[in-house]
Amino acid sequence: MVWLGPYPDVLLADLPDTAAGPEARYEAREAVSLAFITALQLLPPRQRAALILCDVLDFPARQVAEMLDATEQSVASALKRARATLAREAPKPDQPPAAAHSPAEQELLGLLVQAFENSDVQALVALMTDDVWVRMPPLPLEYQGRELAARFFGTIAFRGGRRYRLVPTRANGQPAFGVYLLDPLTGVPHAFGLFAITLAGDRVSAVTRFDSGIFGKFGLPRTLAD
């Protein structure tokens, strides 16, 4: 699989309670984040298994070695390399995001929706961190920084007077939106893509767009009523 798609938050409640112990390296929220999942895909299978079993599920190295039919030394080595890759590819934001559904989060997301639906590039970019990422997996297109983000939205996303409608949802413990492109002739909003939003403090640190083929998993319709 080239890319693992986003997971609806509504389905997370159906997962069994496997809360990690107090020594676990990663909290549940971080372990389902897009940054964490993205970094996992860069790891070789043995390193990925060691990281999840030891740092997410909090199994002791001895037990993980038995699971993987390996020595404790090889597990420790795989874990060390996996942690180094994760630290490099999925660094933690300097500022933690506002709590889910909190007034601070809702205020920021409200401004984001307003800017996007008004095709206001300047207002949109003002809500982003200086090193914001704009990604569109599995396409190998990435834009980092406000300047490139502004160029992308101004010349590609909003080209030709394109207008959108956003419907809120959540994915991987993060705010997300079903994005609908308005038909220029009929004005009917049609499914365009799902945007997962990564927050850092009171700013947007990443916008990750996924294809609209996953709308069904999120209970999102293909078109919106007028």
pLDDT average per 10 residues of sequence, the chain (226 residues): 71 57 55 73 88 86 93 93 83 76 95 97 96 86 93 94 96 93 94 94 92 92 88
Report pLDDT for 1: 47
Every domain of the chain with CATH number 3.10.450.50 lies at: 103-218
Report pLDDT for 167: 97
- Tell me the residue type at 38: T
Every domain of the chain with CATH number 1.10.10.10 lies at: 9-89
Report pLDDT for 25: 54
Report pLDDT for 35: 72
Query: Among the CATH numbers 3.90.1150.10, 3.10.450.50, 2.60.120.380, 3.10.20.740, which is that of 103-218?
Result: 3.10.450.50
Phi, psi at 115, each rounded to 5°? -65, -40
Quote the pTM value.
Answer: 0.78
Q: Provide CATH code, domain 9-89.
A: 1.10.10.10
